[in-house]
Amino acid sequence: MYELIRANKRRSVLLIAGFVLVVALVGAAFGVLVGYGPQGTIAALLLSGVLAFVSYWKSDRIALAVSRAKPADPQRYQRLHNLVEGLCIASGLPKPAVYVIEDPAPNAFATGRNPKHAALAVTTGLLETMNRVELEGVIAHELSHVKNYDILVTTVAVTAVGAIALLSDLGLRFMWFGGGSDRRDRADSGGAGIILVILAFALLILAPFIALLMQFAVSRRRELLADASGVQLTRYPPGLIAALEKLKNDQAVVHHATRATAQMWIESPLDRGKGGGDGDGRASKGSWLNRAFDTHPPLDERIRILKEM
């Protein structure tokens, strides 16, 4: 278990470095296609640096804001705070900031750059659906993400994927609808210049897909490890098993979840079913696209593994 956690942390460092590298390459390609000589490339790289900085320092706040999470009142949500405090004492973690999301779909996520700067968010649907031991299992799962430093790479992925998509879109728009003379001169200058422009163009087209593939690499194994770490913390596997079974049976989706934030949640918050709704105005987990690019292992597989522990 501990060797898996150490390997997980090493992969986290590599993935973050990979996101920074892709952002920098997209920034350079942006500068090449927009033109304006070396100044344009330098400006684009500086913009990429700012986006990478924001990804590290502010991505948790962005993720909470996108999800419309609000601080959990200690009086109103006393049971939630008590469970978090008890599990933090058992695991040796500092207590994270606790948030609640007004949403009927049961779900939860953790975010932040390290255990000292972490936040835990749960939906009102989760609080209403889960009993005490089930809620404890979900919270233990999320605190395991904090302890295993999964939260850093998953939270950075949220803003990095968005930044890469933004730079790529702007670069392609500038290429078709504007841009400096430097880029046109480079394209007209012969073989090397044409190849550079083609490479930059190809990178801007492929970069968002590369970022998404990197994002998919973030979650699947980490979810299984967090499940195992969570039941090790509570010493009661049936609690998390029952919680995952309830999540499997509930077909509601989180209203303010996006594909960029999907890997943060305990189970995919997106529409993955076959229909467009469940008859009460809520979307169902149905589209084939979300199943094909799911960020989480199937709940049946996770339940089976926990039952075998």
Total number of residues shown for the chain: 309
Task: For residue 305, give both structure tokens.
Answer: 């593994």
The residues, any chain, with a CB within 8 Å of residue 246's CB and separated by 6 or more, are 106, 129, 130, 134
Burial of 134: CB neighbours in 10 Å, binned 0-12, 13-18, 19+: buried
Tell whether the torsion through CA atoms of 271, 227, 88 and 114 is positive or negative.
negative
Contact 6, 229 (CB under 8 A): no
Q: Is 215 helix (H, G, I), strand (E, B) or coil?
A: helix
Strands 108-114 and 117-123: antiparallel
The H or E element that residue 109 is part of is strand 108-114
| Ordered strands of the 70-71 beta sheet | 70-71, 97-101, 117-123, 108-114
**Catalytic annotation present for 136:** no
Cα–Cα distance for residue pair 161/166, rounded to 1 Å = 9
Burial of 248: CB neighbours in 10 Å, binned 0-12, 13-18, 19+: middle
Q: Which of 102, 128, 134, 142 is catalytic?
A: 142
Alpha-helix residue ranges (DSSP H) falling in the chain: 2-34, 37-57, 59-66, 78-91, 124-129, 132-147, 150-177, 181-188, 191-234, 237-249, 288-292, 299-308
Residues acting as catalytic residues = 142
